[in-house]
Amino acid sequence: MHFQENISLKKFNTFGIEATAKYFASFKNVSELEEAFKIDPVSPLILGGGSNILFTKNYDGLVLKNEISGISIVQSDEDYVYVKAGAGEGWHKLVMYCIDHELAGMENLSLIPGSVGASPMQNIGAYGVEIKDFFHSLEAYHLEGKKISEFDKSACEFGYRESVFKGKYKNQFVITSVTYRLNKKPAFNISYGAITEELETMGIHEPTIKSVSQAVINIRSKKLPNPTEIGNAGSFFKNPEIIGQDFLALTAKYPGIVGYQLPNGHVKLAAGWLIEHCGPEVGTSWKGFRKGDAGCYTKQALVLVNYGNATGDEIYALSEKIIASVNKKFGVLLSREVNLV
């Protein structure tokens, strides 16, 4: 392994925030990971695709980039095919692999930036589908026990953008590989968002795995900024969940409010709608707001952006103002999906 000192992390986070790591190295297998932890057994920060992180300061320790690669089919039965991927693989590359092999389940999660290892950690999701819907198991290196442990779906305790790796096991494991259970026979989920409309625009009357994926790619390309062009981490906030009674009260006051009924009787609100209908001043909107190089994207209020040289502190300060204004107007407290460092 090659350890570097005082390395810029700008190209390793999709926000494009300038921050420095005191030490930096990448690992391609468990042996290299073990070697790195001998150098710094306490404070390493593990980076995947850097698509869900906001650096608000330099990192005074060791940053390790997970580059464990490989995608392969490891098992199949009458209904399912099991695909295993290294945690350092790009997420969209894995999705395309499954689509090319006509394996269903991931198509709604096309074009999401980031790495395979982050997918179960965050229980990533989009357009009515989450990782937990087709997750099978993962392998993770236990830092204290110095061994690989396996987690099935139940052990991961998936929640909305949550898992045990963000909660009780935070900083205790490094995910090294993930295995997904894909369907041989697709059961499409195209009712969420604008997928049906996009398929119609494409002239598709009988959806396929590939066409649904392309529809999602088209939608995301239209409404979300490309991180290589405008720094961002995708959705900055989670969609908040409230009880049904509170939703009825909000609907009476704001008839256009967007919410999705949940099986438990609660309602998940569209955070983007809430943000768009608030602003720094009465009668204005956060959508399209910009101060310096920190802003709220013009096409999707849920996305905070770095137009060039914004600092992490400036992005964070903007998020604080948005949270406060949404809470003041709607009585709803937003929480960040992005991890702060």
Q: What are the catalytic residues?
A: 161, 235, 337
Residue 236: how many CB atoms within 10 A of its CB?
27
Residue 337 CB-half CA count within 13 A: 25
Instruction: Tell me the residue type at 302.
Output: L
Return the structure tokens found at 336: 């960040």
Alpha-carbon span 318 to 306, nearest angstrom:
11
Contact 128, 189 (CB under 8 A): yes
Place of tokens 């967007």: 258
Which residue in the block uniquely carries the two structure tokens 């795995």? 209
CA distance 231 to 304: 9
User: How many of the other CB atoms lie within 10 Å of CB of 183?
Assistant: 16
Cβ proximity of 309 and 291 under 8 Å: no
CA distance 212 to 128: 13
Name 19's bridge partners: none
Tokens 């700008």, residue located: 10
Q: Taking a C-beta distance cutoff of 8 angstroms, is the pair 36, 24 a contact? A: no
Distance between CA atoms of 306 and 313, rounded to whole angstroms? Answer: 11
Residue 129 vs residues 188, 274, 284: alpha-carbon distances, Å: 10, 22, 33
